Chains A and B, each alone.
Chain A
Amino acid sequence: MDAKPQNQSAPIIANRPASVVMKLARMGSLHQSRLSFMRVLLRRLKAENWQFRQVEWRIDEQGVGVASYEAIGPERTYTLVAFAHDLPAEQRSDRVIAEAWDATFTLHDGVISQADIARLAANVPRQEAGRISGQEFVLSRANRSVRLFDYVVTCLANGQQPDLREIEPVGYLMRTTAVYGSGKFGAADRALWADRPEFAGSFQPELLAVWLIRSFTIDIVEHMARQRAPDRAIRLDPDIRRRIGVGNSTGLGMAPFLINHPALIHAWINARETALTRVRNLPASTAATIDDLAHLAQRALQNAAEWTTDSPYQQNKTAGLRDDLAGLIVYLKKFDPATDYPFDVIYEWGARQLSLEGQEQLVSLLIDSHAALVDDLAATMSADESAYFHIDGSITIGKIKAILDDAYGWVKHINYADDAAIARVWYVSEEKLEPRLGERFHEPIEPFEQPLAPGRDAVAARACLDHWDDAKPIASFLLAHPEHRHIIRRTQIVASLPYAEIQDNTIAAEMRPIDLLRCKLSFFGASKFDPRSDRWLRITMYQGAPFPDELARLDPDDLAYPPLPS
């Protein structure tokens, strides 16, 4: 490490460049970390000593009715309203396009009135077909895991605790199939609550709702057990209960989000990369810190061991991850803590030795083992896209050409004249109003294409600009060529926000949408990604996390990895 100057004030290792980070294969290998939004939320709720209580429980013996939960913070109170339904099994679909669910939810701003509950009862169970108001921040719904829900009810009704070996492979009693926020279906716009400190960062109202939904899933399973055997039923043991999270099924609806929110995706990736860079720039460490990192790697290996999926794609990746973590643990046990810039050495070892899954798991472990160094970055993980919306028309065409050549230099490796490079079309289906991915050369969908192929569009704009004088302002080009306006807008954004663009072909024949989904869900804090095809996957949220009644005495960050078997 002789080449590293001993100057602590100036980082000597820079953030990893976008050309390394913003590749779909790597983005599809990201893991949760302490910068993930669920963990950021729980840290804040704990630090601010939020209080939680079930306010209403009007659920009948069939499990049908309404419940509500208050989250009471230093300044404001929020109420989760849950509507429980009796859904016939044949209607239970994870697809976002379903029309009925086992339970439906909304997060209301403030303490709720009976009049508001009545208003919501007429709308929330209808989900997209209903309307919520500016007093609501989130609209969501969930279905039971039939297998685990019935098993846990039966166990508790028989006076027995369920077996963790049954719980771990599923990890949830209910899975959400959509969690809508930010102005959707009448909900409050983000601008209405963006300046509330409790919602600093991203997706905090949505994830508060999901965390409270988790409590509801426990309450209803215990309720059903009591209905079945009032004298014999018991409650879940807290240690077993904690291994139950909330499932989530996510499909293509989420995939375009990363492309449509360039400033936000930059903010997320930049925070994570900055955290890694800070850790790599630490000039020294201690034996205890290296031991802690090795211990955390063992818990990550435990998580990988519990991670089951039917997807051959993910099975391969998870198997590689287990090997990687086993190798990392051996490496760390032999590692000399007196090494200069120890975490950079460890990172560089990983970059050479580990698969992408393993490399990105290592990044999360390095971040997670340095709380004091990285936690402030959580506050930077939001963005106001409108601040980057307007085009600076005075920039010269020569400058735009230079930015295109630089920021979109990666398109040189793609031949867009090749059918396979443009095989896919992102479109919205008339029937379900949801984003879909189709085959350009086999379906009549091209006229409906969404602008989700920035690489291809950058190539087209650059070719058109070739005929224009470098000294002219871009405004004159845009007046004549409005068809290139959207990509010129992106070009200006990427010029200042390098992680704003995915540097891969998003319409290639071999593109896997689940890589986009995995990236976003890892920032949420999801674990145990379970692809069900190349286009949708299941995850578990909050598995292991404390419940509201435990938050004051348990550390949510410590619980983000499963405990080692005793």
Chain B
Amino acid sequence: MTITPPPDDARHSSWSLGETAALATKAARGAGMPWGLADETGFAVSWLHARGIAGLSALCRYLSWRHNDRLTQWPDHATGDRCYCPIALGTAYLDGALPDSLSINNIREPVLILPFIAKRSGARPVQVNLDQLCLHVSENGVLSRYPDTAFLLNQAACTISPAADPPVIPPPMQTQRVASCFQGCVTALQHFAGKTYAPATDESRLAGAGAGLNDND
């Protein structure tokens, strides 16, 4: 059968949030996270994209940075010039292992911690400072005077505090799609996800799926 190559618009089609979360989970696992934290990564990236924030970009940058052997353990213990992992720290914050108000010296790709802060804060916004960037975060989303791309800091000091005069964050325009412009990130994350796949062997080809009987009838 001749297969027609897809037209450009199809090749550049958008992604569902479900497959985006699944990819983020697999990529995080492929980069070495325990499964439980990898699942949290899927949640975080999906939460950000549902609110129009580039979670895939942040994760892509974070896993690439980690890949250079700067950190080898989960969770991270930031000492010296090292950074906290936004997923491990965010998860600990959401779990309640850390107090409501918090100051962290150095957190890598801090946008990835926002979904965890949002989930803990519920409907009442809290103030999050990433270096000089001041944001308000609630389960509805992230409110700031800056464009979303400004959130993509490599690393920053992070302060979480009650919002003195909390703004009303309107419910998010729940976008269910991740735009085709993230194809580059998707490709990079697929590389990490690939580390969760076992290379095939002759034995596994035959036995792994239980082949043996004729498929035709």
Q: Which A residues contact B (CB, under 8 angstroms)?
A: 85-89, 91-95, 97, 100, 119, 121-123, 125-126, 129-134, 143, 145-147, 170, 182-192, 249, 251-252, 310, 386, 389-391, 393-394, 427-434, 436-439, 442-445, 447-448, 451, 473-476, 478-479, 482-489, 513, 532-536
Q: Contacting A533 at CB < 8 Å: which of B9, B43, B199, B210?
A: B210
- Is B203 engaged at the interface, CB distance under 8 Å to the other chain? yes
Q: A95-B211, A183-B19, A482-B36 are in contact. Are A429 and B13 (CB under 8 A)?
A: no
Can you list 9 residue pairs at the A/B interface with Cβ under 8 Å?
A122-B6, A123-B10, A147-B217, A186-B14, A189-B18, A391-B95, A393-B97, A482-B91, A533-B212
Q: B4: CB under 8 A from chain A?
A: yes
Given A186-B15, A191-B176, A479 and B215 contact (CB-CB distance below 8 Å): no
Q: A393-B96, A434-B209, A479-B97 are in contact. Are A119 and B9 (CB under 8 A)?
A: yes
Shortest beta-carbon distance, B98 to chain A, in Å? 9
Closest 10 CB pairs of A and B: A485-B36, A535-B210, A183-B18, A393-B95, A183-B16, A436-B208, A475-B95, A430-B197, A533-B210, A431-B200
Alpha-carbon distance between A387 and B14 when the two chains are bound, in angstroms: 26
Nearest B residue (CB) for A537: B210
Contact B198 A189 (CB under 8 A): no
Q: In residues 15-71 of chain B, which contact A (Cβ within 8 Å)? A: 15-19, 33-37, 39-40, 43
The answer to whether B205 touches A431, judged by C-beta atoms less than 8 angstroms apart, is yes
How far is the CB of A70 from the nearest CB of chain B, in Å? 23
CA distance A130 to B11 in the complex (A): 8
Cα–Cα, bound, A474→B95 (Å): 8
Q: CB-CB contacts of B72-94 with A at 8 A, as 1s and 0s?
A: 00110000000000001001101
Pair A479/B92 contact, Cβ less than 8 Å: yes
Query: Given the known A-B contacts A189-B176, A390-B94, are A532 and B213 also in contact in the complex, defined by CB atoms under 8 Å?
Result: yes
Which residues of B lie under 8 Å from residue A100 when comparing CB positions?
A: 1
Known: A119-B7, A448-B196. 4 other contacts (CB 8 A): A438-B208, A478-B91, A487-B36, A536-B210
| Chain B residue contacts of A122, Cβ below 8 A | 4-7, 10
> Is A389 touching B43 in the complex (CB atoms < 8 A)?
yes
Cβ of B14 and Cβ of A133 under 8 Å apart?
yes
Residues of B183-217 contacting chain A, CB below 8 A: 194, 196-201, 203-205, 207-213, 215-217
Least CB separation from B6: chain A residue: A122
CB of B94, distance to nearest CB on chain A (Å): 7
Chain A residues within an 8 Å CB radius of B5: 122
Cβ–Cβ < 8 Å partners of B74 in chain A: 482
Inter-chain contact A430/B200, CB cutoff 8 Å: yes
CB distance from B11 to the nearest CB of A (A): 7
Tell me the nearest residue of chain B to A457, going by C-beta.
Answer: B35
Q: Given A134-B16, A190-B18, A534-B210, does the pair A430, B96 have CB atoms closer than 8 Å? A: no
Q: Which residues of B contact A473 (CB under 8 A)?
A: 95-97
Contacts of A437 in B (CB 8 A): 208, 210
| B96/A394 in contact, CB under 8 A | yes
- A121 to B184 Cα, complex, angstroms: 26
